[in-house]
Structure 1
Amino acid sequence: MQGIRSAIGRLVLAPGIAQTARRWAAPILFTMLALWLASGAAAIATDAGLPAPQEATPTPRPVRSARTDTENILVLGADPRPGDKIWRTDTIMIVAVDYQKDVPDGKPQVGIISVPRDLWVNIPGYGNGRINQADYIGEGRKPNGGGPALVSEILNNTLGIRTSRYVRIRQEGLVELVDALGGVTVTLDCPLNEITPNGRGGYNHFDLPAGENFLDGAAAKKFATFRYASNDLARASRQQQLIWAIRERALQIDAIPKIPQLWQALSKTFTTDMSLLDVIRFARLGSQLDADQVRGVVFSARALANTVMPGGAQVLVIRNRSVLMAEVDSLFAGKPIAEQGRQGSGRCPK
């Protein structure tokens, strides 16, 4: 932890870091993405206090889709226990970056699709199973990136989305980063009362009131991972809000110029096929984004259904493929991630 805090306090690029192309830092499955989004404040601040320009009635634009119009990054979050030889991918996200270079006067936008860990899919070469098994199965076949490649193949077969890059993150780093940033703030419209099994036949509880809540690293991890009082879809919504909370906090402490130092200090928390130069490129893109240009989709109960398999496994299956694909294609018309995950447990005080 001391090393992380020291990294945040430094601005000088560490020697040799530009050559680090295959291992880098981020403590939560989407931290890197949240950090480069934080640089979007530059564009917002430039326009502060200026009168809004008069605009003509906009011409309707064609719908942009993560299936055809974007650069897609696969984000995998795992939380293996000490001594585990088999792991499951607890969080799967597709980050779709739409540069809109082919659209006159188009502005870049980013969309985040949360894929439920319990989604029942066909795993090529294995058979049917939860999608959260695929990363481990793929690594067993091809240790060098085989897991992300297999997950990407499944997502293409299931959702029609191809990913070109990946980030695999150990979720334990969330605590380290949020504490290093000094905590983050999330907002709830209703109280949140969550639980998770404690391994001793009982449950650990996590409760937050409605309103603004300041979270340290341990609380942020619970906010992003507990789901047994709600479901995987509700948890995915909270994860999307947490991305924006990290973005806001990174902006407050001016963390963006220190990405290279964070990269080095946290390099044991995840692997990727992206380079530091890729991250810098995304940071430049982030300077053009505001909250309305970063949207997310969490699939609905109209698209997916809970079911119990013959062996007793509780999984999510596709209820209506047409609805599912419509939700995929509505990504850039979806709710901004800053507004996701605010419903708490859905039990608002009267």
Structure 2
Amino acid sequence: MTGDDEDRRAGRRPRILKAVGLTLAGALVAGCAAAGWAYWHLNSNIKSVDINSALGDDRPAKPTPTPTASASASASQEAPLPTEAVNILVLGSDSRSGEENEALGGGSSAGARSDTAMVVHIDAGRTTATVVSIPRDTLVTRPSCPLESGGATAVAYGSMFNSAYAVGGPVCAVKTVESITNVRMDHYIEIDFSGFAKLVNALGGVTVTTDEDIDDDDSHLHLKAGTHHLDGKQALALARTRHGIGDGSDLGRIGLQQKLVKALLEQISSAGLLTSPAKLYSVADAVTGSLTTDTGLDSLSELTSLGESLKGLAADDVKTVTMPVVTAPSNPNRVVAKEPAASELWESLR
């Protein structure tokens, strides 16, 4: 190799390094821009309701935080765990109109209903959780609820539990749950039909074992007893099935919903979301795009913080139960809280 060749190569090196540097810098900027856009998009997906302002102080008291062994652990932990339990009212609804919801059996926004209601109690150490299903056919005293348009609804006696959402939306749903349980709901989360189906699809489906044949023309689900891997539409149909199992009551549907909750938790833990940014984004987009929360959970950072605090919680640590009920004396197709068992259950969650 001649001296001239070496000089020419030496002269090209800075230009090549500069080109590589500019390319990497461009990719980094593009990556940061994409990440920034993704965060903005996911954050703007979330809709919220200011339940605290609407209900004011006329609510069950918040429990006093008590230090736990986990919270007082060494300062070397990444972040201390919360020092108080948290109760979240989770509703599954057909409240949003649109082609996707209609195709999945959803109603219009004018006919909003809460088809699924669960109180999720997470202990102070974030090591166990209890999910309590409230049958939609439960007869309750629905309290007076403030309306967004002004004024308030009248107190209603012997009303179906899910009528609270229909007449007063999330605010009335929360107030009614607090009224019948005397447990303060720290947060509210609502997911609609299409969002639930998208979540299951984004996770790659969900595997559920049924104990009996399901033959329900209303939910369009027909399954033999056994283990099945369901897509989003099938999983939603399973969550809505009631006429094709047992006595056709809401209690049979709740049993299927609780199986589905456990199966989803197991699927999320095994989906490898942290090692697949594309799948993680797809799941996050599916969830946030169909989510309504209270203002305490209406940002990606707040939802992420809640999720981070639950990373040690396994599916086996989650207990699913149904509020104890008996057939209503006034209507064989309705139920009422069974006392004192129901009150004892709610007492254990305060």
TM-score by length of 2: 0.63
The CA deviation string for residues 144-201 of structure 1, in whole angstroms up to 9 with x for no partner, is xxx222222222221121102111211222222222322111123x223242537xxx
CA contact (8 A) 2:183 2:346 kept: no
CA RMSD of aligned residues (A): 3.2
Residue number in structure 1 paired with 2:166: 136
Paired AA for residue 286 in structure 1: L
Structure with the larger helix share: 2
Unpaired runs of 5+ residues, structure 2, are 1-30, 48-83, 96-105, 145-153
SS at match of 1:13: helix
User: Structure 1: which 5+ runs fail to align?
Assistant: 1-9, 26-68, 101-106, 139-146, 199-203, 333-350
Distance between the aligned counterparts of 1:177 and 1:154, measured in 2? 28
Question: Which of 1 and 2 has greater Rg?
Answer: 2
How far does residue 117 in structure 1 lie from its aligned partner after superposition? 0.8
Cα drift, residue 135 of structure 1: 1.5
Q: Letter of the 1:93 partner, please give it.
A: M
**Greater RCO between the two (CA within 8 Å, min separation 6)?**
1
Distance in 2 of aligned mates of 1:326 and 1:233: 20
**Contact kept? 2:207, 2:228, Cα under 8 Å:** yes
> Post-superposition shift, 1:284?
1.7
Gap change, CA 1:264 and 1:222, over 3 Å in 2? closer
**Please, which of 321, 325, 329 is the counterpart of residue 297 of structure 1?**
321
- Following the alignment from structure 1 to structure 2, what is the Cα–Cα distance between the partners of residues 289 and 83? 36
Out of 232, 251, 257, the position equivalent to 2:269 is: 251
> How far apart, CA to CA, are the structure 1 residues paired with 2:347 and 2:320?
11
The alignment status of 1:119 with 2:101, answered yes or no, reads: no
Change (3 A) 1:215 1:16: closer
Task: Tell me if 1:208 matches 2:224.
Answer: yes
State the alpha-carbon separation in 1 of the partners of residues 346 and 130 from structure 2.
10
Among candidates 217, 223, 240, match of residue 225 of structure 1: 240
Report whether the alignment pairs 1:149 with 2:171: yes
Moved more, 128-137 or 240-249: 240-249
Superposition pairs for residues 1-350 of structure 1, below 5 Å?
13-15=35-37, 17=39, 23-24=45-46, 70-80=85-95, 81=106, 83=108, 85-100=110-125, 108-125=127-144, 126=154, 127-128=156-157, 129-138=159-168, 147-188=169-210, 190-197=211-218, 204-210=220-226, 212-228=227-243, 229-230=245-246, 231-256=249-274, 259=280, 262-264=283-285, 267-273=288-294, 274=297, 275-299=299-323, 303-307=324-328, 309=330, 314-318=333-337, 320-329=338-347
AA aligned opposite 2:218? P
- Counterpart in the other structure of 2:147: none
SS of corresponding position for 1:108: coil
Instruction: Return the alpha-carbon distance in structure 2 between the equivalents of residues 270 and 297 of structure 1.
Output: 24
Q: How many residues align?
A: 254
